[in-house]
Amino acid sequence: EVVVLRLGHRPGRDDRMTTHIGLTARALGADRALLVGDASQSETTVRDITTRFGGPFDVEVVDSYRDIIRDWAGTVVHLTMYGERVQDVEEDIRAAHAEGPVLVVVGAEKVPFEVYDYADFNVGVTNQPHSEVAALSVFLDRLFEGRELEREWEDAEREVIPMETGKRVEEVE
């Protein structure tokens, strides 16, 4: 199981980013997203997309992150520009994933130091400042080694038919 934990959501300001964290987690192979704080708008959007385009994928708003990280019965990966290079630790993280669930933590504003401390891996997708959505995408693709792109979706109401030009969406029977 791979679960994405989104910290530090600021209502209003972070709504789109938090929604994109949920949508990206879903699209790129995670099983679940936990959104800390007042992020019910993002939760609703991610749920709607899952209803329409399929799953399984769960999204949930939680009050606090501390117990989730502390009690996580698996590996905690915190994505941060200050961390170890993803290309240096991805193999160890894949090995850990074969043994148990992985919690992938991404921040918004400044992430409290205790998160760095609790994490089993602090991982940088480059050591340059960029975006939690971008970091999450590259990380998940490295974790799954591209297999997430082949995923089949269950219980979708509609499906995009890939095409060279134009847009085609079909209702799923």
Binding mask 98-117 for ligand SAM (x = CB under 6 A): --------xxx-xx------
User: Which is closer to ligand SAM, CB of 32 or CB of 142?
Assistant: 142
Is 143 an interacting residue with respect to ligand SAM (CB under 6 A)?
A: no
For ligand SAM, the binding residue among 72, 80, 96, 121 (CB under 6 A) is: 80
User: Which is closer to ligand SAM, CB of 53 or CB of 65?
Assistant: 65
Residue 75 to residue 126: CA distance in whole angstroms: 21
Residue 139, helix vs strand vs coil: helix
For ligand SAM, the binding residue among 79, 89, 96, 104 (CB under 6 A) is: 79
Residue nearest to ligand SAM (CB): 107
Is 25 an interacting residue with respect to ligand SAM (CB under 6 A)?
A: no
Tracing tokens 């400044």 back to the chain, one arrives at 110
For ligand SAM, the binding residue among 85, 130, 151, 158 (CB under 6 A) is: 130
Neighbour-count burial of 165, counting CB atoms closer than 10 A to its CB (0-12 exposed, 13-18 middle, 19+ buried): exposed
For ligand SAM, the binding residue among 113, 128, 163, 171 (CB under 6 A) is: 128
With beta carbons less than 8 A apart as the criterion, state whether 122 and 80 touch. Answer: yes
Is 81 an interacting residue with respect to ligand SAM (CB under 6 A)?
A: yes
Is 37 an interacting residue with respect to ligand SAM (CB under 6 A)?
A: no
Q: Which of 51, 35, 121, 25 is nearest to 80 (CA)?
A: 121
In the chain the first and final C-alpha atoms are separated, in Å, by 29
Is 54 an interacting residue with respect to ligand SAM (CB under 6 A)?
A: no
Rounded to an integer, what is the distance from CA 80 to the centroid of its chain? 14
Residue 103 to residue 68: CA distance in whole angstroms: 9
| Residues found near ligand SAM in the complex (CB under 6 A) | 79-81, 106-108, 110-111, 124-126, 128-132, 135
